[in-house]
Amino acid sequence: MNLAVDELRGQLGRFKTFLDQDPDNTNLLGQIAEIHYRLGEFDEANSLIEKALKIAQDDQSIQFLKSNIAMASGQAEIAIDILEALINSGNTESGVRYNLAYALLYDGRHEEASIQLDQINNESEKLPEVSLLRARVLHHVGDLEQAIRCAEQYISLNPNHAEASGILALLNYDEGHNEIARKWAEQTLAIHEANIDALITLGSIAIDGQEREEANRYFKSATARHPTSGRAWSGMGLTDMLGMDIEKAIIDLTKAVKFMPNHIGTWHSLAWCHLIKDDIAGAKQSMQSAMDLDHNFGESHGGLAVIDILEGSIDAAKIKTKKALRLDPLSFSGRFAESLLLEGQGNSQAAKKVITQILNYKIGNDTETVQMKITQHMKSPRVQNYTKKR
C-alpha cells in the first residue's frame, strides 16, 4: 500500500470518529464520501452522499461530488443530469461546465460538449485543461489538425504532461504521422507507463508494420490496465486477426463493441471474423449494426452484399454492391463483393471457398490482401472517430 492510500485511510478513520459524534453533519459526510471516492470505493461514497442529500438536498457541493462519482463509475448520463441541473439553478462555475463537457464527450454528445467548452473558453488561463478536453472533442468529430493544435498549446504550457503527450501521440497517429506519434508515445510511457493513448498508438503502429508480437504486447498491457477501453480491445482483436487467431479475435472485438458500440469499423471487423468462421448469422448481425450507424456508408452496403452472396441472394447482392461503389468507389467491401460476383458468377459455394481464405485474398489486381485492407480501413479517420449522431 502506498503512502497516499495510507494517508487517506488515516483521514477516513479520524473523520468517521468525528461523524460518530455528529452523524448529521453534512460537511463530514461529504468529506468522508470524497475520501471513499478517491479510493475508488464508489458504493460507500454514494451511500454517504444520499444520506447527506436527505439532510440538505440543495447542497450543491454534495451534488457536484455525486456527479463526479457517477462519472468515475461510468454513469455519464447521471452525471449529466446533475450538472445540467446545477447550471439551470444558476451555478455557472467553470468547473461545473468543464465537468459537464467531459461527461457529454464520454456519452458521445460531442457537439454539446463543444458548446459547454465555448462557454468557458476565455477562462483557459485559469483552467488550462479546457484546451486539452477540446482536443479530445475535436478528435472525436474528426478535426485532427485543430485537435493537434489544442493539445500542442496545452503541452507548451505544461511540459512532460503525460495525458497531453499521450493525446498528441494518438492524434498524430490518426493523422498518419506515425514517426511523430511514436516519439510522443514513447515520451509518454517514460513518464506514465499505463497511459492508454500511448499504448494504443504504439500497438497500432506495430499492427501497421505487421509486427504481431509487438502489437500484442502493447494491447495486452492496454486492455489489462484499461479494461473498459473499446479502442484497446479493438486493437487487440486486429492483433488476433494478424495472428490468424479468429476465435480470440471474435471474443476481443465483441468486448470492443460492448464498450464502443458506435464504432462502425469495429462492427465491420467483427463481421469479417464471423464470416471467416462461417457464422453467416453473426456476420449479418454485426454488419447490420454498422449499417444502423450510417445508412450512407458504402462499406456496410458492401459487407451486406458479401453476406447476400453467401446466402444465395444474388440479385440483392448486386443492388447493394452498386450502392456501395456509388457511395464510395474505393470501398474495399464493395470491391470484394464485386469480385465475388464476377469470379463466382453468382455461385455462393465458390464464394464460400474464397471466404475461408479471406484474410489472404486479394481483390482483383490489388497487391494488398483483405487483411491489410481491414487494417487500413480501421485507420480511416471517419471509421476511427465515427460516432452515431444523436
Residue 243 vs residue 317, higher pLDDT: 317
Supply the pLDDT for residue 117: 92
Q: Which CATH homologous superfamily contains domain 261-390?
A: Tetratricopeptide repeat domain (1.25.40.10)
Supply the pLDDT for residue 242: 85
Measured from the Cβ of residue 190, the count of other Cβ atoms closer than 10 Å reads 12
Mean pLDDT over residues 354-369, rounded? 61
Residue 292 has pLDDT above 70, yes or no: yes
Cβ-in-10-Å burial (0-12, 13-18, 19+) of 222 comes to buried
One-letter amino acid identity for 210?
Answer: Q
pLDDT tens for each residue of 155-178: 998 999 999 999 999 999 999 999
Residue 364 pLDDT class (50, 70, 90 cuts) = low
Q: Grid coordinates standing for 177? A: 504521422
Mean pLDDT over residues 320-338, rounded? 91
What pTM was computed for the model? 0.82
Supply the pLDDT for residue 383: 46
Q: At what angle do helices 162-174 and 129-141 cross, to 10 degrees?
A: 20
Residue 295 has pLDDT above 80, yes or no: yes
Cβ-in-10-Å burial (0-12, 13-18, 19+) of 44 comes to middle
pLDDT tens for each residue of 126-146: 788 898 999 999 998 889 999
Supply the pLDDT for residue 122: 75
Residue 348 has pLDDT above 80, yes or no: no
CB 269 within 8 A of CB 378: yes
Residue-averaged pLDDT of the chain: 88
pLDDT tens for each residue of 23-56: 999 999 999 999 999 888 999 999 999 999 999 9
pLDDT tens for each residue of 180-212: 999 999 999 999 999 999 999 999 999 988 899
SS3 128: coil
